[in-house]
Chain A
Amino acid sequence: MDIRQTLKDQYRIEPLMINTKNKEESYLTVKHADFIPTCLALHKLCHSPVMLMFAEDKRETRSCYRLNTAFYASGKQHWYYVCLDFPAGDQDFPSLAKEIYSASLFEREIWEMFGIRPEGSPDLRKLRLHEEVWPENSFPLRKDFKAGEIAGSTGKDYSFIKGEGEGLFEVPVGPVHAGIIGPGHFRFSAAGEPIINLEIRLGFTHRGVEKMLEGKDLTSGVKISECVAGDSAFAHSWAFCQAAEKLLDISPSPKAILIRALFLELERLYNHVNDIGGIAMDVGFTFASAFASIMKENIQQLNASLSGSRFLKGINLIGGVSKNIAASQKDMLHAKLNSFSSDLDELEKILFENASFMNRVENTGILWKKTAEDIGIIGLAGRASGIAFDLRQFIEPYQGAGFTPITRDSGDVLARLNVRILESKQSLHLIAAFLEKIKTGDLSVTPFVPKEGFAAGAVEGWRGPVIYWLKLNSNGKIERCKIVDASFHNWEGLAYAVKGEIIPDFPLCNKSFDLSYPGNDL
């Protein structure tokens, strides 16, 4: 579709400017009054939730804030950004959340980080800068923000959504949990055993990553991106590098891309098997869980022998990779993955032949496709609810290896478990296919020259899309970097999936999503 024509013919909208940056990104600057209609049009035309939404502080150069809202047209692999400039004095933009739910968290984030208000938003509570410890009127992502001394306590409190009625009670859980897991607070409203409502309060691992990136050079940026979410270090650093490479117009060699794809699948493998074990653990099936943890350890040892890092850190560079897969390593890799493959078959049997295990996972924690689409669930959790969207289906080397997304329709814990098992098997095939193709070639492009500009990178990590939007200033330093991990979209899905379930099934539902705390909190 020609977007200008379609918007004009079908919606009578004429953007002020359409800037097609590269073959994957278009930026549509719109008038204030056209902002909501354009977003709604793209939401519909692209069948896409709000994939990312963020502000830029351009007061110094243009006396305005810019708001960018992105939709992804998966059919044509194109990102559409709706850009709205509004004068710094106004500090209000029309809230999109009333129309498109998936904008809601992004708007709350913009409000707390920039102090610009989504006019008419139904919910303006803080996400990450907790009321208890952070003063009002201090907005970290404004360019003139000074950290300074911040008081330890503000005396304020967060207001949870309260369920009220006879026999209803609240169960507060966290931020310190019983397991070895990140911090988050879960507030259950329950009537007897069943959960009436769950409110998830996150932000406990907020480290101010986006602000920290400002002013840094690209090489430090890669290092930081690896520490946003440790279990997705590779997906995050690839997305960051991809954004930088698009911005600088450099293309890594086909060999470098193959090596990246191979490591991305290794990351998926060790995490998927960890979650398969985790689901078994949370129904008390320790034999299967112990078995899976040995499999995870095997892959992490393999990671270490290939890259020096059990978490695949230090591989991605701007322009390519630092680690080679030598011909001599291929046999070892094949042998390891074959043994992993037969272990996986056994693990599957151990789980699926156990009636009491199946009884716990089947029909538990259902997230229906309609709900998932309405709230904008993406990635693995979306696929388990029947949304056939996977960024890998559009890119090389995946297309060449015959990749198709794996989906299930039932949306329950079993569906998410099945998608993990099938994707693990698929990853094994993909790695074998990539190994065939890795021949001689450059690992990385010669030194890059930073320049001004902006671009986005998106990689399908094991939880779902990891998106980095990057802008460099005229000195080649980072001006703004927006990070979105799939977890940010999907936590809300967990809150819906547990409604009506009993509290003892919460850990099981939670593990079946296994969302990232640090990836969400940034």
Chain B
Amino acid sequence: MSIFTIIKNRLAKGIVDIDLAGEIKQANILGRELRSVIDRKFKGSFNIRQVDTGSCGACLSEIIAAANPIYDLQRFGVNIVASPKHADALLVTGPVSRNMALALKKTYAATPGDKFVISIGDCALDGGIFKDSYYTLGGVDKVLKVDLHIPGCPPTPLVIIRYLLAFLRS
């Protein structure tokens, strides 16, 4: 079976099953609004650079999921970019391990102009479950001023989209 046959079959069948259809609908409703806000306020694109400071990886996985074809964050104008130099905002996960404090500061310094810091996940708020450790600083705001926090352990992709929308609208 050639790849074209597979694509053709897929198009005929549709890529989602029933449960996911509900999620996609929700993402669409949120996303249309997000798109119009980003078009209006950010000339069409809002670029995010992600920095992990010691999360367990679940938040990272959900950020990746928000960009998968089901939620497809990119179609609303939100891009996850490879360099802080291209970013409007930093999206920071983890309780800030001592080893990452300097790297986080340097990444922030490398991000140009008017920039936002968004922390994501319960660890990033105040250290979460790792609050009392000798090696965590206890939240992103110990290092940088945080403009938005997205709670959850981890927040689901829809929660991430919802918070981004509410934040950008304000």
Chain A positions within 8 Å of B, measured between CB atoms, are: 128-130, 132-134, 140, 145, 147, 150, 152, 175-176, 178-183, 203-209, 211-212, 223-224, 227-231, 233, 287, 290, 293-294, 296-298, 300-301, 305, 310-311, 313, 339, 346, 349-350, 353-354, 516-518, 521
Contacts and interface: CB of A to CB of B under 8 A. Distances in A.
B1 A212 contact: no
B68 A290 contact: yes
Given A207-B130, A294-B16, 11 more contacts: A182-B60, A211-B134, A212-B132, A287-B3, A294-B68, A297-B68, A297-B70, A300-B65, A301-B23, A311-B61, A517-B57
Contacts of B6: 346, 349-350
**What are the 6 tightest A-B residue pairs by CB atom distance, in nearest-first order?**
A230-B58, A230-B56, A178-B82, A147-B134, A208-B133, A205-B54
Contacts of B82: 178-179
Given A297-B68, A353-B3, A178 B83 contact: yes
B101 interface: yes
A126 to B, nearest CB: 10
A521 B61 CA distance: 18
Contact of A354 (B3, B68, B98, B101): B3
A383 to B, nearest CB: 23
Contacts of B83: 178
A231 B52 contact: no
B39 to A, nearest CB: 25
Interface in B141-157: 153-154, 156
Interface string B91-126: 000110111111100110000000000000001000
Contacts of A517: 52, 57
A180 B60 contact: yes
B70 A294 contact: yes
A353 B7 CA distance: 14
Contact of B103 (A145, A204, A224, A353): A204
B135 A182 contact: no
B69 A290 contact: yes
A440 B129 CA distance: 35
B95 A207 contact: yes
B99 A301 contact: no
Interface in B65-80: 65, 68-70, 80
Contacts of A353: 1-3
Contacts of B101: 133, 152
Interface string B44-61: 000000111111111111
A229 B57 CA distance: 6
Interface in B1-16: 1-3, 6-7, 15-16
B166 interface: no
B92 to A, nearest CB: 11
Given A175-B100, A206-B97, A230-B61, A339 B54 contact: no
Contacts of A298: 17, 20
Contacts of B84: 176
Given A205-B52, A290-B68, A301-B23, A231 B57 contact: yes
B38 interface: no
A211 B68 CA distance: 37
Given A290-B69, A297-B70, A300-B65, A204 B60 contact: no
Given A176-B107, A518-B55, A294 B99 contact: no
Contact of B69 (A204, A227, A231, A293): A293
A285 B91 CA distance: 26
B136 A208 contact: yes
B22 to A, nearest CB: 10
Nearest to B3: A350
A183 B103 contact: yes
13 contacts: A132-B102, A147-B134, A183-B52, A205-B99, A207-B133, A229-B56, A230-B57, A297-B70, A301-B20, A301-B23, A310-B156, A311-B61, A517-B57
B102 to A, nearest CB: 7
Contacts of B168: none
A354 B7 CA distance: 14
Contacts of B59: 230
A311 B94 contact: no
B44 to A, nearest CB: 22
Contacts of B56: 227-230, 233, 518
A152 B23 CA distance: 45
A102 B155 CA distance: 38
B125 to A, nearest CB: 14
B137 to A, nearest CB: 10
Contacts of A287: 3, 7
B161 to A, nearest CB: 14
A471 B132 CA distance: 21
Contacts of B97: 204-207, 521
Nearest to A290: B69
A182 B94 CA distance: 10
Nearest to B127: A207
A349 B64 contact: no
